[in-house]
């Protein structure tokens, strides 16, 4: 099994009051409704004010690398990436977890 983690950092001038940020959040929260390869899914806004903190995080579990690849190419995910690309940068890590 693989865990897929993404941390998003808003571009300067963007915050949660921006409707684009709200749309990106909703789209991300709704991925499990559209992408069957997702086995588990958590996401949420940062709750601290530390300068090194990212603004939003997601963590998803997938059966294997093929499932992650299917997720990455899924139209719902591609649409979400487009929303985030307009307002943020991000870092990603995928790592193995015990079943």
**pLDDT tens by residue, 21-36:** 999 999 999 999 999 9
Average of per-residue pLDDT across 36-60: 98
Nearest to 75 by CA among 39, 31, 41, 43: 31
pLDDT at 99 over 90: no
Q: Say how far apart CA 35 and CA 11 lie, in whole Å.
A: 27
Q: Span 2-96: which CATH code?
A: 3.30.70.100
Ordered by start, the domain boundaries in the chain are 2-96
- Strand ranges (E), the chain: 2-10, 40-45, 56-62, 88-96
Mean pLDDT of the chain: 98
């Amino acid at each position: 099994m693989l865990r897929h983690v993404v941390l998003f950092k808003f571009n300067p001038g963007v915050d949660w009051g921006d409707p684009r940020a709200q749309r990106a959040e909703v789209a991300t929260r709704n991925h499990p409704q559209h992408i069957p390869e997702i086995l588990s899914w958590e996401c949420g806004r940062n709750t601290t004010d530390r300068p090194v903190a990212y603004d939003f995080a997601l963590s998803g579990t997938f059966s294997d690398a093929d499932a992650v690849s299917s997720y990455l190419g899924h139209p719902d995910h591609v649409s979400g990436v487009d929303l985030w690309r307009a307002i943020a940068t991000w870092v990603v890590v995928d790592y193995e977890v015990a079943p």
